[in-house]
Structure 1
Amino acid sequence: MNFSDVELPSNKKFGFFFTLVFAIAASYFYLNGSVTWVYLFAVAAVIFFFVTIIKADALLPLNKLWMRFGLLLGMIISPIVLGIIFFGLFTPIAILMRVSGRDELRLNFKNKTSHWISRSEPIQADSFKHQF
């Protein structure tokens, strides 16, 4: 996926979002008693708030940078999460099924002459109308 294919959120949304993030961080450090971090995040929240209100277009480079970071993070994290799901869930289940001798796909064809599965009940015409 190219960065040019991605639609950026509006600069105002971006600015207000980071104002909120910095305000929450300042509140967190205020409750923990770390005064230096409170001032840092509170000033950042105020700066982002006023820049968003006065000239939101000034946040465009930061908005693009944040989106690029998100895309990079998605390209790294997605294969890791999918690999964990595959090797942590599907592989153990497949190994257990193979060890227990289950053949859900009926692939064992050694002693059969056909793949045809016989039906126990007779075929009725109504069963073909609404199959799904």
Structure 2
Amino acid sequence: MTAHFQFFMILGAAILLLIIFALLKKGQMSVKYSLLWLALAVVLVIFAVFPYVVYVLRDLLDVQMPVNLVFMLMFCFVLLVLLSLSIGVSSLRISASALPRKTLSWKSACGIWRKNSAANNPAKGV
């Protein structure tokens, strides 16, 4: 791994960390999703500072060039992010589909309460 590539990996990780912390500070990103991105930044720094780790992984996975391994791992990371976002969207869809039922049951409970209170106190009727 060249020093040029190592420098850009460290620079990219530092920029990623700054962006994550800025989004967390503004409240635009939840801590739950930021952990995944923080893990990516830490892995990038480890790969840049200790390139031997990349070479060992390259040999274990039988990849020809270390750069290809880094890009392959980045692609796997993006797939992991997509999976986590899909899970988040699915849970929101389930919550959104349950909302009309909850609203309807609340409205019907209020309607029953209004009818019962009007029947018990005819002076204050509708």
Fold shared, TM-score > 0.5 on shorter chain: no
Q: More relative contact order in 1 or in 2 (CA 8 Å, sep 6+)?
A: 1
The structure number with the bigger radius of gyration is: 1
TM-score by length of structure 1 reads: 0.35
Bigger helix share? 2
What TM-score results when the alignment is normalised by the length of structure 2? 0.36
